[in-house]
């Protein structure tokens, strides 16, 4: 079922205002053909507004949305030929599962027999074979989610949109569905725009993530890049856990934390104030007297709090009176977590490759 007609989406200067509020502020975004792109942001960031604009449910104040070469901004939603999975699923309660899935096919004038075949095929794809005659209110939450998905792709749309489709499911089912959605996407090959506020979900599923905040795109990149090289404090903060350490700049441009030199030069000389982003799991416990070296930066502090959480252990380490570092270690043999006695003085190391520097807020 590989979709040869998958289309790229090109968004230019898209602007939408609600009163004084800038829901979207001149957004530019290129989504590649067959790509799985996630719009990630906190609530009110504009991610749903952007998705609705692509679907055609709200009309932007300015800008352009192209599917392939075709300008869509003035096209009514029912002529856009995009599939969509709604947050509430929006399944039609007066229709059976098959009628729901067959609805877009009937609208496209397919013969009853062909509709039946395509519906069965879609049901098989979402692993609901045999449930076609069920009423919607006889389905579990997970089953409804699958029906909504089947209905969204059954008519082979060129673009698939999903608005927080997994938010109503419990954690276990959600994690299972993330993988399944990913597989189905790969199978269909359709350009997919996915909206979520769950950074973990975004990291799990996406080819690329567009982090959006206050109606503007903060960073658009692969999950690895977003996680390892956040461009600013918002992205670093929003994606994953982290501790921000304020750095001081020496006269020669060196950036240091206390006595430890973090970087010999500033990545961008025009920015004066930098922060070091420390991911808790990138730290490792050191035994004995190890000092900062070419390979790693070493922090020393007292264990304030220690929590064993199964596959990992979590601790807070006070470096000085005001700075507290979050750390996370594996719990296997050799992890040295036995050193994490509350009050004990410990050393933790950060490999130079794991150093993330970002300009402080208000700096560019």
Partner 1 sequence: MPISPDIETPMLHGQELQSQKKREEWVLLGLSLPAIFVIALVVILPVGWLFYLSFVDGHGNFSLEHYQKMVEYKSYARVFITTFKVSALTTLICIVLGYPIAYFLAALPSRWSGIFMLAVLLPFWTSLLVRTYAWLVLLQSKGLLNDLAIQIGLWDSPVKLVHNMTGTLIGMAHIMLPFLVLPLYGAMKKIEPDMMQAASNLGASPVRAFFSIYLPLSVSGLVAGALIVFVLCLGFYVTPAVLGGGRVVMVATQITAILEHQFDWGAASALGVVLLLATVLVLYLAGRFFKFDTALFGKR
Distance CA 188, CA 182 (A): 10
Can you tell me which of 13, 61, 62, 108 binds partner 1, judged by CB under 8 A?
108
Contacts of 96 (CB under 8 A, 6+ apart): 132, 133, 134, 135, 136
Q: How far is the CB of 102 from partner 1 (least distance, A)?
A: 10
- The alpha carbons of the chain give a radius of gyration, in whole angstroms, of 25
Distance CA(170)–CA(163), nearest Å, equals 17
Question: In the window 223-252, what residues touch partner 1 (CB under 8 A)?
Answer: none
Give the nearer residue to partner 1 in terms of CB position, either 90 or 344. 90
Among 30, 75, 103, 354, the residue binding partner 1 under the rule CB under 8 A is 103
CA 23, 74, 218: angle at the middle one, nearest 5?
30
Would you tell me how many other CB atoms lie within 10 Å of the CB of residue 136?
Answer: 18
3-state helix, strand, coil in the chain (%, to 5): 25, 35, 40
Closest CB to partner 1 among residues 93, 310: 93
Helix (H) or strand (E) holding 196: strand 191-196
**Considering only residues 62-91, where is the footprint of partner 1 by CB under 8 A?**
76-84, 86-88, 90-91
Does the footprint of partner 1 cover residue 111 (CB under 8 A)? Answer: no
User: Which residues within the stretch 257-276 sit at the binding site for partner 1 (CB under 8 A)?
Assistant: none
Give CA angle at 75 (166, 147), nearest 5°: 25
Is the CB of 21 or the CB of 90 nearer to partner 1?
A: 90
89/329 with CB nearer partner 1: 89
Q: In angstroms, what is the minimal distance from the CB of 92 to partner 1?
A: 6
Q: Is residue 93 at the binding interface for partner 1, with CB under 8 A as the rule? A: yes
Cβ-based nearer residue to partner 1, 56 or 280: 56
Instruction: Report the site for partner 1 in 19-58 (rule: CB under 8 A).
Output: 55-57
Dist. CA 174–CA 170, nearest whole Å: 6
Q: Is residue 92 part of the contact set for partner 1 (CB under 8 A)?
A: yes
Q: How many residues bind partner 1 (CB under 8 A)?
A: 28
CB of 4 to partner 1, least distance (A): 20
**Given 67, 155, 257, 306, the residue binding partner 1 (CB under 8 A):** 155
Among 104, 165, 215, 301, binds partner 1 (CB under 8 A): 104
Angle between helices 171-188 and 141-153 (to 10 degrees): 20
Backbone angles phi, psi at 277, to 5 degrees: -95, 120
Q: Which residues form the interface with partner 1 (CB under 8 A)? A: 55-57, 76-84, 86-88, 90-94, 103-104, 107-108, 135, 137, 151, 155
């Amino acid at each position: 079922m590989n979709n040869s007609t998958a289309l790229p989406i090109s968004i230019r200067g898209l602007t939408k205002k609600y009163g004084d509020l800038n829901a979207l502020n001149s957004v530019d975004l290129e989504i590649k053909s067959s790509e799985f792109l996630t719009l990630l942001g906190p609530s009110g960031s504009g991610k749903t507004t952007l998705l609705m604009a692509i679907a055609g449910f709200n009309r932007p104040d300015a800008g352009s949305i192209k599917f392939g070469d075709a300008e869509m901004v003035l096209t009514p939603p029912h002529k856009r030929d995009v599939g969509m999975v709604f947050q509430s699923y929006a399944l039609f309660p007066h229709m059976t599962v098959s009628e729901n899935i067959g609805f877009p096919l009937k609208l496209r004038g397919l013969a009853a027999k062909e509709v039946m075949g395509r519906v069965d095929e879609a049901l098989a794809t979402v692993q609901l074979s045999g449930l076609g005659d069920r009423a919607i209110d006889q389905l579990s939450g997970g089953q409804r989610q699958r029906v909504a998905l089947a209905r969204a792709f059954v008519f082979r749309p060129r673009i698939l949109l999903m608005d927080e489709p997994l938010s109503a499911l419990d954690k276990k089912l959600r994690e299972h569905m993330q993988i399944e959605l990913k597989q189905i996407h790969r199978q269909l090959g359709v350009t997919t725009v996915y909206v979520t506020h769950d950074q973990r979900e975004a990291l799990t599923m996406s080819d690329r993530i567009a982090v959006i905040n206050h109606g503007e795109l903060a960073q658009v990149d692969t999950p690895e890049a977003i996680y390892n090289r956040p461009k600013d404090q918002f992205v670093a903060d929003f994606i994953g856990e982290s501790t921000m350490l304020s750095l001081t700049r020496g006269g020669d441009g060196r950036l240091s934390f206390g006595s430890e030199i973090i970087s010999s030069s500033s990545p961008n000389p025009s920015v004066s104030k930098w922060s070091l982003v420390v991911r808790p799991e990138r730290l490792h416990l050191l035994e004995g007297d190890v000092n900062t070296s070419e390979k790693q930066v070493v922090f020393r502090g007292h264990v304030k709090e220690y929590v064993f959480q199964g596959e990992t252990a979590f601790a807070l380490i006070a470096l000085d009176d005001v700075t507290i570092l979050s750390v996370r270690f594996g719990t296997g043999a050799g992890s040295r977590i036995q050193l994490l006695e509350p009050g004990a003085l410990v050393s933790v190391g950060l490999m130079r490759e794991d150093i993330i520097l970002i300009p402080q807020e208000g700096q560019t």
